[in-house]
Amino acid sequence: MSDKLAGALVNKGNVLDDLGRPHEALQCYEEAIILFKRSMERRGRAELNEELALALMNKGVTLRGLGRLEESLNCFDEAITIYRQLWEQGQGAPAYEFAMTLMNKGETLLRLGHPEEALSYFDEAVGIFRRLVEKHQGFAEWLAWTLRGEGKALDDLGRQEEALARYDEAIALYRQLVGVEGRKELEMELAAAMMNKGVTLRRGGCLEDALHCFEEAIGIYRRLVEVGGRRELVSELASALVSKGNALADADRPEEALTCYDEAIRVYRQLVEVEGRGELVSDLAGILVNKGNALADLDRFEEALCRFDEAVAIYRQLVERQGQKEWTDKLAAGLMNKGATLDDLGRFEEALQCYDEGIRWWEEVMEAGSKHVAAWLLQGLGVRFELKRRMKDWRGAAEDIYRALAVVRPFFGAESPPEVTVMALTEFLFRLRLLTPEEWAELDEVMGEESLEELRDWFERWGNEPVSQ
């Protein structure tokens, strides 16, 4: 009887989650999990393993939606262990549910900043979904979804060409499902896949191609929201506008970028401040940073500072007061952007304070094991090094070289370090190449020979030029 009640609780939890009531859904899943485990322990109901694993997966998804990522991972891990044991015991595991759990763990690892680990779970899930699609085309949408996750992990690892191949395959599947099979409910997924591809193209500098992707996505979202009455997609429309704005900014079209950012900010302020969608406040902060950068590009520095201040305040609230550490790298980036604007205004001491805090936050993320921020940290150290150079603070400049060496060392033994890290290192070395012999002499006085020798190794491997003597 208790196992039937547990099953009913899982179903109730699913409905509550769909209705946007995740805390109540979580209570249902937790009660169901307790009942399943009790039945298995007391009555030896091993056949309930599959139902327990499904309840754990659903609980994990709900926890992730609430921002409780580590707890979410624990649920997915327990469910995956159950599914693997079923395979090993020859009982077989439900392939669809197993693949969904693998995919969900991959997505959570991505959000935690562990793309390499996430990739292994996406790869396994894609393999299962491919076999399922061979038997029944009804699984094609989940193959497409998982390919997108795999693409995002590859993109985060700097493997853009492979990422684009995954997105293209996902887009082709969605176009078939929407255009040929009439699955109009998947139009928003097609738009999301176009967004994924556009982001990767933008990172690779293919701005016109990226703009085409963003514009197609905006067209889909705008039609669904304004014609189809899909008000719940308005945040996706705003996100697409932001991505288009970013590509326009990269293309040195800041005025057009501002138009996109302003529309997106109006949407997010309505959602956050009027409709109480507090979970979107981080998105608002991100757009404020982007608008600040566009304003700075137009030499409207004081306006830019206002945007950066608001964004930093939001991120600080999330990280320091609400304990949402996943926004630490964004807080750091906001501080660095504010520092750059203060630097442009000639307010060097204030700029240095922002750089110092931003770099401290990135170092904290690195120390926690998230090496994906190495490129950002190297860039930040390079920016601060340049300011210290201009301020003739050679001891401080040498300290930034020491720290950059410490960031790069873990990657030196790798045959293929992440491309983004190599690019950031190359940028740092370029700053060193610009030093005059007189400036190198100043550094020589405060740097040890061992560090200088390590710098020479850097240049031999990455810089193609020797360090000045």
Domain ranges for the chain, please list them. 252-350, 370-469
Average pLDDT on 75-94 reads 82
pLDDT > 90 fraction of the chain, expressed in percent and rounded: 65
Residue 334 Cα to chain centre, angstroms:
16
Nearest alpha-carbon partner for 54 in 20, 7, 120: 7
Read off the pTM: 0.75
pLDDT in tens, 31-47: 888 888 887 776 655 56
Give the integer Cα–Cα distance in Å for 337 and 92. Answer: 53
d(CA 236, CA 232): 8
- Assess whether pLDDT exceeds 80 at residue 223: yes
Q: pLDDT tens, 262-292?
A: 999 999 999 999 999 888 999 999 999 999 9
pLDDT digits (tens, 9 = 90+) for 116-171: 999 999 999 999 999 999 998 889 999 999 999 999 999 999 899 999 999 999 99
Share of the chain above pLDDT 70, in %: 93
As a whole number, mean pLDDT of residues 379-389 equals 96
Q: What is the DSSP string of 132-201?
A: HHHH-GGGHHHHHHHHHHHHHHHHHTT-HHHHHHHHHHHHHHHHIIIIIS--GGGHHHHHHHHHHHHHHH
| Crossing angle of helices 140-156 and 160-175, rounded to 10° | 160
pLDDT, average across residues 359-376: 89
